[in-house]
Chains A and B, each alone.
Chain A
Amino acid sequence: MEMKELKFDIFQEGPLVKSVSITKIMPCMAEEGRVKLAMQLDSTLDQVMPTFASKFPPGNVNYIPHKKILTLNTHQRVISFFPSGRIMMMNTRDPEEGIEIITEFMEKINQCYLECESGNGGEDLTEKLSKIGPLDLYNCLPQTNCEECGTATCMAFSMKLLSGDSTLDQCKPLRKGENSEKLNSLQELLGDQLMKSLGWSGNY
């Protein structure tokens, strides 16, 4: 297999990661015609990995803390991030698609880096998130089973939040004045960071 090194400069001003190289393109035998990409970022991810890992709903995440290896189930494929800055992306259409997707993640990685630098990150939120169960979330929801989010019950919704199949933004009633207490308790339970991870974009 030829070693073609394709380098892509993505963020000229990127605080941590500016460019990514594709180090290997392998056939993905599980899916006919798709490929497996090995990529290398221009920086190591040692420092930001714990913060980065906490940005995603736990259902999509397999994080090995003592090795700082993060595997995500996202964009209909499995992507593994290694502390050395290496990335393995499965089930991809072609290198271009791989780069498109990785650019999104590079942006997030840079954000995490800035958070860590400003002292906001660094906390191992993945552990905190792993201790939060659907019942904890349910207790902070309106509990009216109104179905506005597209799910039949608030309990089912809280399970979907954790699996990454729903976002907090989908619960419109949470933004209403009558539920402000619930929203506060949710904020207390999760904190800013994890609220975002579970798909909360709003101001409160």
Chain B
Amino acid sequence: MNSALIIIDKAPYGYENALSGIYIAIASLDKGIQADILLMGDGVYAALKDQSSEKTIGYPSVGELSYSIFPEGNLFVHLDSLNQRGIEYDDLVEIAELIDDKTLYNLSKSKNHIMKI
């Protein structure tokens, strides 16, 4: 089965990348591709819960949008990136799944396509 891993390493709102990456994941899932999102580096900020960007800056909430990939796709959040930034698991949206480096290695090996947006 065709699979893809979309890596986002930029924080949302500051850059369009997080939003665009999620759209690619949604499109891939709709075509039957097993697409997962990996948030690494500053990308982990995209998984913070209670983002209210619509009312404040008129920008779609990236945290909300990420729910669209669940349950067919997973939202992986890189553990080390989270720790480096002092973010706790409880600060994240419900669908966030922590991933350590070893698991990430195995996950990457299993994917047909890996894209960093």
Direct contact of A and B (CB under 8 A): yes
Binding site for B on A (CB under 8 A): 1, 3, 24, 26, 29-30, 36, 38, 62, 67, 69, 71, 78, 80, 82-84, 86, 88
Return chain A residues, CB-CB under 8 Å to B27.
29
The number of residue pairs between A and B whose CB atoms lie closer than 8 Å in the complex comes to 30
CA distance A36 to B71 in the complex (A): 13
How many chain B residues touch A (CB < 8 A): the figure is 11
Q: What are 30 A-B interface contacts by the 8 Å CB criterion?
A: A1-B60, A3-B54, A24-B64, A26-B68, A29-B27, A29-B30, A30-B30, A36-B68, A38-B64, A38-B67, A62-B71, A67-B94, A67-B95, A69-B70, A69-B71, A69-B94, A69-B95, A71-B71, A78-B71, A80-B70, A80-B71, A82-B94, A82-B95, A83-B94, A84-B94, A86-B67, A86-B94, A88-B67, A88-B68, A88-B70
Q: Dominant SS at the B interface?
A: helix
Q: Dominant SS at the A interface?
A: strand
Chain B 53-75, CB-CB to A under 8 Å as 1, else 0, gives: 01000001000100110110000
Chain B 29-67, CB-CB to A under 8 Å as 1, else 0, gives: 010000000000000000000000010000010001001
CA distance A9 to B60 in the complex (A): 27
Distance (whole angstroms) from the CB of B1 to the closest CB of chain A: 15
